[in-house]
């Protein structure tokens, strides 16, 4: 995984694209109070609508990769069957230890919600999220603020 992170910076610009391109929102949200990570529908869609996705965390715990995978892989999660058909169906990973560990390691307050934009690597078919790019989500304003 660290190789993919390092290669990200050196890849040609046309091989990577951020969520703004083609109106795609590649985001994940961290809900400290809910012990959950919400993975945006467009993240799953851009990966080719797989049945299972994996979360891979780099050694320094400051980046996450979301990738399609097999059911048997470590940290694999079933994508809800009706995720694209029903508006309120979400891809959510719930684990207090995992979520709180990542949030604490990245200086996120557990009582708040944070959003992180991702970058798609077409070459590796993964979405990379750098947790240093987190934004504090303000539900009253429906906006995110840089931390």
32-48 tens-digit pLDDT: 999 999 999 999 999 99
Look at the alpha carbons of 3, 31, 51, 120 in this order and tell me if their dihedral is positive or negative. negative
Pairing of β 135-138 and β 113-121? antiparallel
**Which pLDDT band holds residue 88 (cuts at 50, 70, 90)?**
confident
Tokens matching residue 132: 């240093």
* Predicted structure pTM score: 0.80
What mean pLDDT comes out for the span 127-134?
96
Mean pLDDT for 50-59 is 95
Q: What is the mean pLDDT of residues 99-127?
A: 95
Tokens 């529908």 belong to which residue? Answer: 41
Nearest to 121 by CA among 51, 18, 1: 18
């Amino acid at each position: 995984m660290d190789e993919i992170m390092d290669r990200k910076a050196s890849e040609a610009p046309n091989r990577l694209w951020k969520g703004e391109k083609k109106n795609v929102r590649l985001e994940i949200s961290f809900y400290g109070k809910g012990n959950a990570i919400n993975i945006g529908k467009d993240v799953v869609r851009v990966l080719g609508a797989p049945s299972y996705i994996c979360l891979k965390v780099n050694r320094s715990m400051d980046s996450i990769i979301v990738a399609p995978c097999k059911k048997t892989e470590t940290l694999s999660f079933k994508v809800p069957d009706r995720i694209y058909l029903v508006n309120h169906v979400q891809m959510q990973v719930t684990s207090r230890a995992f979520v709180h560990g990542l949030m604490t390691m990245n200086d996120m307050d557990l009582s708040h919600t944070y959003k992180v934009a991702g970058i798609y690597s077409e070459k590796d078919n993964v979405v990379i999220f750098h947790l240093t790019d987190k934004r504090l989500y303000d539900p009253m304003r429906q906006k995110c603020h840089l931390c």
